Structure formats: structure tokens, C-alpha cells
Amino acid sequence: MQSEKLDLSYVVPVRWRDGAQRGELGEYLAQIAPLVAEVIVVDGSEPEVFAANAAAWGEQVRHVPPGEGETWLMGKVAGVRTGVELASHERVVIADDDVRYEPEALRRAAELLDRHDLVRPQNYFSRLPWHARWDTARTLLNRSIGRDYPGTLAARRSRMLAMGMYDGDVLFENLELMRTVRAHGGTIASPLDLYVARVPPSAGHFWGQRTRQAYDDFALPVRMALWLAVVPLLIVSALKRRPALAAVPATTAVAAAEFGRRRAGGAAVFPATSSLLAPVWILERGVCAWLAVLQRLRFGGVRYNDSVIPVAAHSERQLRRRLAEHGSGGEEPGTGRQWSPGSNAAPPPTSTGSKTPASTGTSSRPTTA
């Protein structure tokens, strides 16, 4: 344990239907609170769940609802935007409720923020049920050709406020944030060896995310085209009775995943079995990519909670065009809301953005409508 607290704010956006994760997250927050200057949980749960969370976590966190007017298709973004606005410190760690930092990883992230606007760690699963090994194959393939997309980022508060935060009406919100930072001239550090644990989801939750995660790749067109080619390739291979058409790519996928596993000491946290599962993950993504296309054709986007999200993430070209047209804040004139390419709606204004001093042990409870 560190003797001095890190000069950073730790922000956790949550939005739960029930309190199944409450105890485990509370134990983790109790470990994190002594390490950082403040912990802010922005809770978009229903009033009953919100109240139970406040009672369980007590004085170890600042517990608040999303800011007034922070209504987005991707509800997590409302929590992020509110948390960053309320943060009392320049360095802010944004983490999903299943992310588990060790003290050294927090320290490294804080140090990197002295030189960069955004830090992109590398997640790994702290436990390895079968579906976590399966999903780790995705991580390894991402690492083989570049970087993975984690459930946590660290950011400079001043950069976030200067660029008007980021659009929350997208599915792939972390990619949207990274692209927004780059569009505004910011720098991103993506160390492959900044490992941060993540609690694996239940098997049911894992299956429920398959099509949604495949829809993310609409923001990465080359990858989407690759995944859409998987099923046709297998059909051609079967019809022509040429198994090599499938066997060669499968072998290449295993080799690529193993390369990704070994980069930057990854073998210490990623299991070798996940490299062997790379072809299985690619087959799953190939099928789910077509399901994502069907959802887009049928619903105009992917179903997420009680809404439909059309856009996976905006391209940097769109974001730069927004910057040129609307200025550094990137807000639609007269609305106070982050501008979204192609959006003609006039959504409600966001919160005022005033900086509220942090205080431990406070909980602002939402009222029942």
C-alpha cells in the first residue's frame, strides 16, 4: 500500500438493474479509496438500487447520479461526463465497474498523464472460466496487430473539458473518446504492458454481448469486411471440398494470437489456451457480424437496453469536421450538447459543467419521477 495518495480522481460509472455486483465492487472501492485523492461513483440506477448502493458504500466514495440533462443512448457516457466534471483533480481514471487496478498500475497511469492526454491500459481477466478464455482470443488478436480496447482509460480533465467531452450517442464509446482526443490534437499513450485486471462477466452476459460487440466493428470498416468474409469463405471451402481454404487462415490466427500473447510480457497474464481458441473466436465474430448487419437493416442500429444505437463510433474525419464547424467545444449552438455528425435532433441541454469540490461520504439521491 502507498503511504501517499495519488493526485487523481477515480471515476466509476454504473447503471444496474439490481445490486448483484454491489458487494464485490464495494470491497474493491474500499481498497482503492486509500490510494487516490477521491473516488466518484456516478450511479444511473433506479432509485431503489441507488439508495441501496449509497447505504452499502458509505463514506468511502462520493456517490452521485448523472448530471441533469445527461441523457445519452449509451448511458455510461452520462456517468463519465458527470464524473469528469465533478472531479477535483486534473488526472482522472475512468473505469468500468468490473475493472480492478493494482497500486502500481494506478501509479503508472498517473505518471503517463503528465506527458499525455489519454492513457489506454491493457485489460486481462482476473479469473478464467471458459468464456473468458474464449474472449481473451480477441484481445490477443488485437495485440498481434496493434492495441486492444480496454474497459478503462485515464484522461486529463482539462483536455476533456476543452474538447466538450465526447458524444454519448454511440455504441463504441471508448473508441469515440480516443478518436475525439486525437481529433483535437491530443496525445494517447497505449503501453502494452500496463496490465489492469477485469472481472469476467457471467456466461449469460457474455452471450448477450456477442452481437453488440460485433456491431462495434462498423466503426472499423476493414475489420468488419474481414469478419463478413469468414462465413462465405467457410461455405466455399465446404462446397469445393478444399479444407485448406479454412485451415490455413485458422493456423495463421493461432500464430497471430500467440504472438500477441507474448508481446510485452503478456504470457504472464494471458493463457496459452486462448491462442488456440482464436479460430473459434473468429468464427463467432464472423457469424455475429452478419447478425449485426441484420440488426442494422431491421432496426436501423443495434438494440441496447431499451434503445437502438445506430452509430458505432464516428471517424476522426467526421470529428475534425465537427471541430472546424463548431469550435473546440464541439457543441451544437444553443443546445449545450455534444454535436453528432448527421444529427438533426435538438436534445436537452447538458449539466452546467461547474466544478464541484469533492467530498467523501456524500450521496445525492435521485428522486422518483
Within a domain: residue 350? no
Within a domain: residue 266? yes
Within a domain: residue 123? yes
Residue 243 pLDDT exceeds 60: yes
Residues 227 and 124 in one domain: no
Residues 19 and 110 in one domain: yes
CA gap 143, 141 in Å, rounded: 5
Q: Residue 262 sits in which domain range?
A: 204-309
Residues 258 and 146 in one domain: no
Residues 229 and 321 in one domain: no
Cβ neighbours of 127 (radius 10 Å): 9
Residues 294 and 317 in one domain: no
Within a domain: residue 180? yes
Within a domain: residue 364? no
Residues 40 and 177 in one domain: yes
With cut-offs at 50, 70 and 90, classify the pLDDT of residue 334.
very low
Residues 63 and 89 in one domain: yes
Residue 350 pLDDT exceeds 70: no
Residues 187 and 239 in one domain: no
Residue 227 pLDDT exceeds 90: yes
CA gap 81, 351 in Å, rounded: 9
Residues 304 and 318 in one domain: no
Q: What is the CATH number of the domain that holds 197?
A: 3.90.550.60
Give long-range contacts, CB 8 A cutoff, 24+ apart: 231-240: 231/286, 231/287, 231/290, 234/283, 234/286
Within a domain: residue 342? no
Residues 305 and 321 in one domain: no
Among 182, 192, 13, CA closest to 120: 192
How confident is the model at residue 355, as a pLDDT?
40
In the block, residue with C-alpha cell 444529427: 343
Whole-number percent of the chain with pLDDT over 90: 80
Within a domain: residue 332? no
How confident is the model at residue 3, as a pLDDT?
57
What is the reported pTM? 0.87
User: Mind listing the pLDDT tens digit for each residue in 34-82?
Assistant: 999 999 999 999 999 999 999 999 888 999 999 998 999 999 999 999 9
User: Mind listing the pLDDT tens digit for each residue in 252-302?
Assistant: 999 999 999 999 999 999 999 999 999 999 999 999 999 999 999 999 999
Count of domains forming the chain: 2
User: Mind listing the pLDDT tens digit for each residue in 161-181?
Assistant: 999 999 999 999 999 999 999
CA gap 216, 173 in Å, rounded: 9
Residues 177 and 148 in one domain: yes
Residues 69 and 174 in one domain: yes
Within a domain: residue 176? yes
Q: Using an 8 Å Cβ cutoff, are 46 and 80 in contact?
A: no
